[in-house]
Amino acid sequence: MASADLAVTIGAIKMKNPVIAASGTFGFGREFGRVLDISALGAIVTKGITLEPRAGNPPPRLWETACGLLNSVGLQNPGLAAFIRDEAPRLAACGVPVIVNISGDSLAEFCELASCLEGVPGVDGLEVNVSCPNIHAGGRPFASDPEAVYRVAAAVRRVTGKTLIVKLSPNVAGIARTAQAAEMGGADAVSCVNTYLGIAIDAERRRPVFSRVFAGLSGPAIKPLALRAVWEVASAVRIPVVGIGGICSPQDAIEFLLAGARAVAIGTGNFISPMACLEVVEGIRSYLEERGIRAATDLVGRARGHAGHTAGSHSDEAYVYEPKERKAEDDFAAGKGRSHGGEQ
């Protein structure tokens, strides 16, 4: 039997297979590099990088739930300069495309991160984390306003020639609209989704578990929700979708491809088994070869032919996002909400 073609392309990134290690669950590949061959992955996404180093939130930062994990890490990271000095040269030699996840609290910060990373060897793409709070919008996450997502994507697009992926938050009223805003802003792809906001309460101490109350839920518990988000987003945009949320097995990954994802990323699954990414690569290969399917790309969106009338499509008027006229950042920053501050 002919061997299946697993290769997929996201923007300018040619991946040997559709399996990516998700941001924040794979560090900078150092520890995982000791137990698995990182070059066998499709790509890796780094932990979220900010301009300055961040110590993160006080403990506890992780809390197990039924079939899931709540985290409130608080974007602990060494900062941009240390990343470029200590991590990027090693990552450049790993033989795998590297996507750097960036978090800013203003358009200016996102742009500075993107332009400083522009000439760094071994950085193939940027994943823009729009779940972080916008200081010019009272701390409301960028993701909560499609206009803000459009502006971030457009601003970063102007300063980077690298593959630009916008990572969507599921904690919004209409994720398809946010995805369209990212596409209109010039994103090459969207990744879908970040964690779902949740809370844990300590009944003995009669108080919230996390210092910032809200935390991000990930793992198998969110898989059906993330699949729905991918389905809706793939209906609304023409750029590739990277499916994320509770993927632990080859079957999970294949379900996301069938729903419309061009590639998948594995997060919490890496904590359950450090070999999860590689097992998923091999499982997708077997699935294709056992069924005589030529290529992984042949699976993308194949479940969609069976959609009922509730499933979105390009012609759904409700999903058409039009960016407003460009204004100064402060003009649209009228929000009164406060940062939940709980994710990652």
Q: Is 116 annotated as catalytic?
A: no
Task: Give residues 6-65 in contact with ligand FMN (rule: CB under 6 A).
Answer: 22-25, 47-48
User: If phi over 0 gives left and psi between -120 and 50 gives alpha, with beta otherwise, what is residue 297?
Assistant: alpha
Write out the binding residues for ligand FMN, residues 175-204 only, by CB under 6 A. Answer: 194-195
| Number of amino acids touching ligand FMN (CB under 6 A) | 27
Residue ranges of the alpha helices (H) in 260-337? 269-272, 276-290, 329-332
How far, in Å, CA of 55 to CA of 291, rounded? 49
Q: Which is nearer to ligand FMN, 237 or 266 (CB)?
A: 266
Pick between residue 4 and residue 100 the one whose CB is nearest to ligand FMN.
100
Restricted to residues 301-340, the positions that interact with ligand FMN (CB under 6 A) are: none
99 binds ligand FMN (CB under 6 A): no
Stretch that binds ligand FMN, among 155-163, 176-184, 217-225, 287-295 (CB under 6 A): 217-225
Sign of the dihedral defined by the CA atoms of residues 245, 267, 132, 235, in that order: negative
Residues 111 and 95: their CA atoms lie apart, in Å, by 27
Angstrom distance (rounded) from CA 129 to CA 187: 13
Contact call for residues 174 and 149 (beta carbons, < 8 A): no
In the region spanning residues 149 to 168, those forming contacts with ligand FMN, defined by CB under 6 A, are 167
* DSSP 8-state symbol, 25: S
Catalytic residue among 132, 192, 248, 277: 132
Out of 41, 43, 266, 280, which residue is the one contacting ligand FMN (CB under 6 A)? 266
Nearer to ligand FMN, 47 or 162 (CB): 47
**Based on CB atoms, which residue is closest to ligand FMN, 157 or 167?**
167
**Given the complex with ligand FMN, which of 4 and 233 has the nearer CB atom?**
233
Taking the C-alpha atoms of residue 5 and residue 285, their distance in angstroms, rounded to an integer, is 8
CB atoms within 10 A of CB 266: 27
Q: Amino acid letter at 73?
A: V
Find tokens 């402060």 and name the residue.
330
Task: Report how far residue 239's alpha carbon sits from residue 253's, in angstroms, rounded to the nearest whole number.
Answer: 19
Helix (H, G, I), strand (E, B) or coil at 244: strand
CB of 170 to ligand FMN, least distance (A): 9
Site string for ligand FMN, 222-261 (x = CB under 6 A): x---------------------xxxx--------------
Name the site residues for ligand FMN (rule: CB under 6 A): 22-25, 47-48, 69, 71, 73, 75, 101, 129, 167, 194-195, 218-219, 222, 244-247, 266-269, 344
- Return the active site residues: 132
